[in-house]
Structure 1
């Protein structure tokens, strides 16, 4: 028991290196642009293209674009898989906490198994349950919104002289 509790102390690993003010501002502007574009399209075309987990996606896409979790396949497929699982459980199993918990656990497991882990997408089943979302949520906002995020990230991150995005597509 003592060795188990000792693990709670951590390994005293160093913090992630401090970001420069330029890197912070670059992430700020990229996140602003991405969500503003999605918000504009949502308002202009009267189609829901935004969901809460996209804010967390922006943290990765513009703050940590080199992360495996930030790569296009992870962003798009991670969101798609998680939303699909959430919708399947909501509509076929039922709207209760056990169904929601299973949807979340299965979505995470599928992202890990398919190597498409995108941590913000882990919240999609919960969002879907809270909204009581319909099947079109899989396309609007999940698929189209995540594609827009990746497109903005492609154009924006590559403006930076020290960035090349993505590292891979496959």
Structure 2
């Protein structure tokens, strides 16, 4: 029987067993620079001042049809025309890219489809899968036990993705086929997978940002411009001081463009062109 009293040993409080790798990595990740880039570039990198309007599933289905066909065709054509890949018996396309295409071109708002998950997840899968295949190849008897090697590679990859916040379901298929389908490729599977992932990400940026938005984030959904220690300190300060109706009223207001005499203030979240800023500055000069 489990003891749920407050004096229970913390080691047995398994609900507290949590490792957040982002807590250690995010302080060293710079905030995305998209708002400083020209609008067409930042648009196709997924930056939007405001979230795009919702889209019906008919249009999503049409874009998925076009983008999946074009994206996988590009990946297959490039892979088939790399002599080194063909010399090492590479398949025309990695089978797990079929599942990845559904995420990258259709379910683009899922955390599983974001670049961090896709790139790191597939990299871990190819590396771990090849390592397990090489390890089992050392023993003639173990080499003929795919029922052990394949599941072991998927299990290890899934555990690593869970600990690194990079869950990407198609990566499990990549790890499995590395051991059971293409073990003779060896280390050459890694560049084949990385090239396919890179081409898929580039094509996803192109097709998905025509009418939708991809990615939702590149590294994390959290605001990287605010560090965890700053958030904790501001939370403590907010608890110490009494609530201010003035501060609350300003925080509830939307961001505004302010034009004063000889001064123009545009919030960072709002992108304006050079012509628009010039017009605002002319208005500020006319203010007496």
TM > 0.5 fold call: yes
Find the partner of 1:167 among 216, 237, 255: 216
Counterpart of 1:146 in structure 2 is: 197
| Alignment pair present for 1:83 and 2:126 | yes
CA distance in structure 1 between the partners assigned to 2:125 and 2:82 by the alignment: 25
Residue 145 (structure 1) shift: 0.6
Counterpart of 2:102 in structure 1 is: 59
Deviation digits for residues 84-139 of structure 1, max 9, x if unmatched? Answer: 11111110234322222211100111111111111011111211112213111111
CA distance in structure 2 between the partners assigned to 1:50 and 1:77 by the alignment: 19
- Point out the more displaced range, 146-155 or 122-131: 122-131
CA distance in structure 1 between the partners assigned to 2:165 and 2:120 by the alignment: 9
Matched length = 149
Matches within 5 A, 1:11-160: 20-46=57-83, 47=85, 48=90, 50-94=93-137, 95=143, 96=145, 97-129=147-179, 130-132=181-183, 133-140=185-192, 142-160=193-211
Paired residue secondary structure (1:50): coil
Residue 60 (structure 1) shift: 0.6
TM-score by length of 1: 0.82
Which ranges in structure 1 are unaligned for 5 or more consecutive residues? 1-18
Which ranges in structure 2 are unaligned for 5 or more consecutive residues? 1-55, 138-142, 220-288
TM-score by length of 2: 0.49
CA distance in structure 2 between the partners assigned to 1:128 and 1:44 by the alignment: 21
CA distance in structure 2 between the partners assigned to 1:168 and 1:37 by the alignment: 24
Q: Relative contact order, CA 8 A, sep 6+: which one is greater?
A: 1
Q: Which has the larger radius of gyration?
A: 2
CA contact (8 A) 2:126 2:190 kept: yes
Could you say what the CA RMSD is over the residues aligned between the two structures, in angstroms? 1.5
Paired residue secondary structure (2:123): helix
